Structure 1
Amino acid sequence: MDYKEQISAYIDEYYNDILVKYKEVTMAATKDGKKLAIFRKIDFSGHIAGFKDLEEKSKELGQKLSAMKIPQEDEQAQELEKKFEVSLDDFIKLCVRNQNHYDLMDRKQYTKNKVTLDDFKLSLAGVNVALRDSMVTLNELDQAYMIFTGKAKPEDFQEQDAEGECAEDDDAGDEIDPEDVSYINANDEDPDKADEVEEELRSRPRRYKKQEFDDEE
């Protein structure tokens, strides 16, 4: 298998294995996250393990990608490799954010943990930031792959970018509904705070240590 077939196989694994599984894990976790744990605590450990597994698979795929020998003269393949690495890095960050968030959701069920609403909002904002970043770099990977496979030309996307910039200028004064940019953040009580904490979230990721407590009556 030559390098072109190899990188195509890796991208196929990313799209049809890892990303498909991420959607399944996210939908299941989001469904449980919306439940009211009044009489019975919800176990989020399976969802956390699911995101952890996706993180590990993405790291393994990144290692295989880094080990590839792509000719310097093949500029399209070189560009595709770079976009692929960036997309994997952002996706790994998204998986870590989700692990931390659902660990917080798990601990939030017990008053002894003293998890506040602000803790929850900050964690949720972090997931949304990671989601947006991941979607942007995934789109860039899509474009690079289409160019690599001959399904599109670089100028095709240059025209789209120009049209997008014009649309952004026209809509500059419009208010953006936070629900339009995130399917996770469907019930955020204060979405305006998300932008205020983005830089802090990128520079100082929050970590929540799993703690074991007896079930409360």
Structure 2
Amino acid sequence: MAPATLTISSKNYSSWSLRGWLLCRMAGLDFVEKPVAIDDPETRQELLLLSPSVRVPRLSHGDVEVWDTLAIAEYMSEIAPKAGLWPDDIKTRAHCRAVSGEIHSGFYNLRSALPMNIKARHDAFKIFSGARPDVQRIKEIWTDCLTTYGGPFLFGAPTVADAMYAPVCTRFRTYAVELEPPLQAYCETIFDWAPMKEWAEAARAEPDEVIELEVEF
């Protein structure tokens, strides 16, 4: 594969950066990280939009530029088809695409109410009413996938869906969201996943400055 660069933001706070980074790791892509400071004015403007289509993560691979997480997922699948980012079975693959698209384009209340902060821990946290349906819907998605495909990942083995929902696992841990045992076991699977452990270790090593961001990015 050609040399690649992945532009990302904070490893502690940036859920979209985490998703793109996991996808590249899953595909076995050899890439260099290019961090963007969260106090950069242009970056802050994008982060505050709560948009899945911000310009981080941004993958530069040869003469290819990709800056949307699902686009990165599709590109990684094309250049590394044996990596298994999408399930082989057409019906299962459609299901995986559907749940991945759902987290990519929705759950805005959850993002704003439970911003990703890997280093933080709350013993108890009151979730505002607008975000509770989002939490419940994610529980439904996880339960359906784990029941249908048997775990330990959402579709048995790691797929795009796990990269997309990994930041949610960190949110649920940070804000002490109560989970049924199978769902808690899924989160533990994500936390024990080698690329996730690598990311979390780097996140914990970041400086503690928070640049007045009250929302997820």
Q: Shared topology, TM-score over 0.5?
A: no
Q: Which has the larger Rg?
A: 1
TM-score band (shorter)?
Answer: under 0.3
TM-score by length of 2: 0.28
Greater helix share, structure number: 1
TM-score by length of 1: 0.28
